[in-house]
Amino acid sequence: MMNKQKGRFMKEVIWNPYGDYIKKSNVKRFMDKHRIKTYKELISRSVDDIEWFWDAMMEDCNVEWFKTYDKLLDLDKSRSFEWAKWFIGGKINIAHNSLDRHAKDPLAKNRLAFIWEGEDGTIEKWTYFDLYTEANRCANALTGLGIKKGDTIGFYMPMIPELIVAFWACLKIGAPFVPVFSGFGAKALAIRMDDAEVKVLFTADGSFRRGKQIELKPICDEAAKMCSSIKHIIVKKRIGKHDIPWIDGRDIWWDDIVPKQSKQFETEKMDAEDFAMILFSSGTTGPPKGTIHTHAGSTAQIVKELGYAFDAKPNDRFFWVTDIGWMMGPWQIIGVQHYGGTHIIYEGAPNYPNPDRIWDMVERHQITTLGISPTAIRLLMRSGLEWVEKHDLSSLRILGSTGEPWDPDSYMWFFENIGKKQSPIINISGGTEMVGCLLSPLPISPLKPCTLGGPGLAMDIDVFDDDGNPIRGGIGHLVCKKPCPSFTKGFLKDPQRYLETYFSKWPEVWYHGDWAHVDEDGFWFLHGRSDDTIKVAGKRTGPGEIEAALIEHPAVSEAAAIGVPHEIKGEAVVCFVTLQSGYSPSEELREELKEQVVKFHGKTLRPEGVRFLGALPKTRSAKIVRGTIKKKYLGEDIGDISSIENPEAIEEISKAK
């Protein structure tokens, strides 16, 4: 681990681009084509003239159209960019660009589209032609059930090959898909399926997680009782369970309907603004929000980010530790396949059966790009470097991360021990509502620890103070001042909530809800969600700031900070920590940790309490669920916890001392 004394205030540049990261990068090709000499000039030009950039990018990245658009951007002047329309008159399909054209190319058809690995070690390798023919069969099966362009299809599946097949089948038909995390309970699934009026739901009899069989079909049955739009449930045999609930006529085995179909299917020519997918946000700030994404808009943003930020190429093997219910799932599949590369999908837990599962996969599959969340890295760090040092990770050339702010220790552990100080960490941040990023480094730009670099290309990003004025040096609100093609087309069936969420704080400005700051050298950093803000005696901070201070202590492995009501201060800070091996809870350590926070943030933010836990409750994508921790601590209803991988950790909260 890095020297603790360097701490979270490290300001030096730790990575400078060199060699092929500059000379052979996709973004350098684009810059040379348009006679752009520097990173700053590239950002400035792309933001100043967004129409030029998006047009030039689509051409440079070889996006193919059935019919070229007549007009790139149409703004309704009376409503600013909330309802902007893009690529007017164009005809396109994501499936054509990311699947069909590769499968029909004699030089590309036998390249691997994806590699699947099950938790039990089973591996399947699918070529572009394999995937194309099976997607065509699946599309024919769906149309045989009466599915047509515009109908919605749900996914409640583990990360198995048939999920990828169904994914492309829906896009080929023009039937928007609705992926849902396969750990959700029946009610959470039903809410999303009902809101989207899903007609067919894909699932499996079950899945494997940490060596255990998890049944999925009974959850779908419960959800279907609450969702009248579901006409069919297509079930893939994964765990081989035969005595599952079944309704003849509604329920269909995958193997009874898909394999017998024709291998030929003509992909629909979609209008640019036709819907491709409906991605639901987590619902941490109210009911889950259905964000709506189009064929052209999704293509533009995802292709830009994979091509320029992650430098995707046909010989890359790309693995983001994700689930299809998180936007990074569709993002990876669409983006990597657009460039004819290979993506890896994995069914199980990242540290099962041993803590080196991910590092072992990197070595065996010769992965070139690895994306993972900061929390997952903190989890894997706890097992020690010996698990990393067993493996040759030299195939890696780019590291990726998203989902939450980093703390410097974990960031530097990832950079030094996984990337060997030779690979940049492309730390990105945006959201489900744009199926992409507001902030993103590029492989041609230097990096400081934890930075997100700067604005994504053609993203007019700023940091505002509370009065709506740009601020530099201090922490403020992350905003976007111009539209981009992938911004959601409102919220499903709730356009007013969309306007209130993003456009009610300042006129004609997208308010994202993150705290951010830009340092004196122009590097951008995030500090957590503004709706997570803790305000003690008038001093405002994000929980990530307090957690980062705690993690600086050598005893602390992970931390979660919450704000709780206080009759004098308004709020007080309570912290929950897990300890590194070799450390035990004690009153002396508790006081040390309180003073650790004081050292970085002053006496005002000194925690009222520090509680020791064996584990923090997390989702399968390794996000710590602060909201659930707070509700449990305060004795409130914690709601649906089906997405939490270790629910037993929740019960520990009320008993922790």
Q: What are the pLDDT digits (tens) for 441-492?
A: 999 999 999 999 999 999 999 999 999 999 998 889 999 999 999 999 999 9
The confidence score (pLDDT) of residue 314 equals 98
The confidence score (pLDDT) of residue 308 equals 98
- Please state the length of the chain: 657
Residues with Cβ within 8 Å of residue 591, at least 6 apart in sequence: none
pLDDT at 284 over 50: no
Domain range spanning residue 642? 533-655
Confidence of residue 98 (pLDDT cuts 50, 70, 90): very high
d(CA 37, CA 84): 31
d(CA 100, CA 318): 20
Q: What are the pLDDT digits (tens) for 608-638?
A: 999 999 999 987 767 788 888 999 999 998 8
Query: pTM for the full model?
Result: 0.89
598 burial class (0-12, 13-18, 19+ CB within 10 angstroms)?
middle
CATH of residue 555's domain is 3.30.300.30
Confidence of residue 77 (pLDDT cuts 50, 70, 90): low
Q: Do residues 420 and 393 make contact, with C-beta atoms less than 8 angstroms apart?
A: yes
The average pLDDT across 20-25 equals 96
Confidence of residue 190 (pLDDT cuts 50, 70, 90): very high
Give a yes or no: residue 545 inside a domain. yes
Among the listed ranges 191-195, 269-273, 282-286, 588-592, which one has the minimum average pLDDT value? Answer: 282-286
The average pLDDT across 370-395 equals 93
pLDDT at 7 over 50: no
Q: Do residues 639 and 627 make contact, with C-beta atoms less than 8 angstroms apart?
A: no
The confidence score (pLDDT) of residue 529 equals 80
Among the listed ranges 129-133, 238-242, 313-317, 389-393, which one has the minimum average pLDDT value? Answer: 238-242
The confidence score (pLDDT) of residue 375 equals 82
The average pLDDT across 501-528 equals 93
The average pLDDT across 316-329 equals 95
Among the listed ranges 52-66, 375-389, 554-568, 637-651, which one has the minimum average pLDDT value? Answer: 637-651
Q: How far is CA 454 from the centre of its chain?
A: 18
The confidence score (pLDDT) of residue 422 equals 96
pLDDT at 215 over 50: yes
The average pLDDT across 309-326 equals 96
The confidence score (pLDDT) of residue 453 equals 97
Give a yes or no: residue 282 inside a domain. no
What percent of the chain lies above the pLDDT cut of 70? Answer: 97
The confidence score (pLDDT) of residue 285 equals 47
Say how many domains are in the chain. Answer: 1
The average pLDDT across 506-526 equals 93
Confidence of residue 10 (pLDDT cuts 50, 70, 90): low
d(CA 429, CA 132): 32
Q: What are the pLDDT digits (tens) for 137-182?
A: 999 999 999 999 999 999 999 999 999 999 999 999 999 999 998 8
d(CA 377, CA 413): 8
Confidence of residue 220 (pLDDT cuts 50, 70, 90): very high
Helix (H, G, I), strand (E, B) or coil at 72: strand
The confidence score (pLDDT) of residue 94 equals 98
The confidence score (pLDDT) of residue 569 equals 83
C-alpha torsion sign, points 83, 86, 90, 93: negative
Give a yes or no: residue 569 inside a domain. yes
Q: Where are the beta strands (DSSP E) in 413-555?
A: 425-427, 429-431, 436-439, 461-464, 476-480, 510-518, 524-529, 534-536, 539-541
pLDDT at 61 over 60: yes
Residue 329 CB coordination number (10 Å): 24
The average pLDDT across 336-344 equals 98
The average pLDDT across 44-61 equals 98
Q: Do residues 597 and 610 make contact, with C-beta atoms less than 8 angstroms apart?
A: no
Q: Where are the beta strands (DSSP E) in 440-522?
A: 461-464, 476-480, 510-518
pLDDT at 656 over 90: no
Give a yes or no: residue 490 inside a domain. no
Give a yes or no: residue 410 inside a domain. no
The average pLDDT across 69-85 equals 85
Confidence of residue 282 (pLDDT cuts 50, 70, 90): low
H or E segment and range at residue 496: helix 495-502
Backbone angles phi, psi at 618, to 5 degrees: -140, 160
Confidence of residue 601 (pLDDT cuts 50, 70, 90): confident
The average pLDDT across 338-361 equals 96
Q: Which residue in the block uniquely carries the two structure tokens 């007549």?
A: 70
Confidence of residue 78 (pLDDT cuts 50, 70, 90): low
Give a yes or no: residue 263 inside a domain. no
Backbone angles phi, psi at 266, to 5 degrees: -90, 120
The answer to whether the bond into 353 is cis (omega within 30° of 0) is yes
User: Distance of CA 624 to CAs 155, 376, 543, 578, 628, Å?
Assistant: 24, 10, 12, 12, 9
Give a yes or no: residue 597 inside a domain. yes
The confidence score (pLDDT) of residue 35 equals 98
Across the chain, what does the average pLDDT equal? 93
Helix (H, G, I), strand (E, B) or coil at 453: strand
Q: DSSP labels for 201-267?
A: EEEESEEEETTEEEE-HHHHHHHHHT-TT--EEEEE-SS--------BTTEEEHHHHSTTS-S--PP
The average pLDDT across 271-287 equals 82
Q: What are the pLDDT digits (tens) for 363-372?
A: 999 999 999 9
d(CA 59, CA 90): 14
C-alpha closest to that of 113 among 334, 292, 361: 334
* AA letter at 340: G
The confidence score (pLDDT) of residue 286 equals 57
The confidence score (pLDDT) of residue 621 equals 65
| Strand pairing category for 369-371 and 398-401 | parallel
Give a yes or no: residue 337 inside a domain. no
> Residue 252 has which token pair?
């269909």
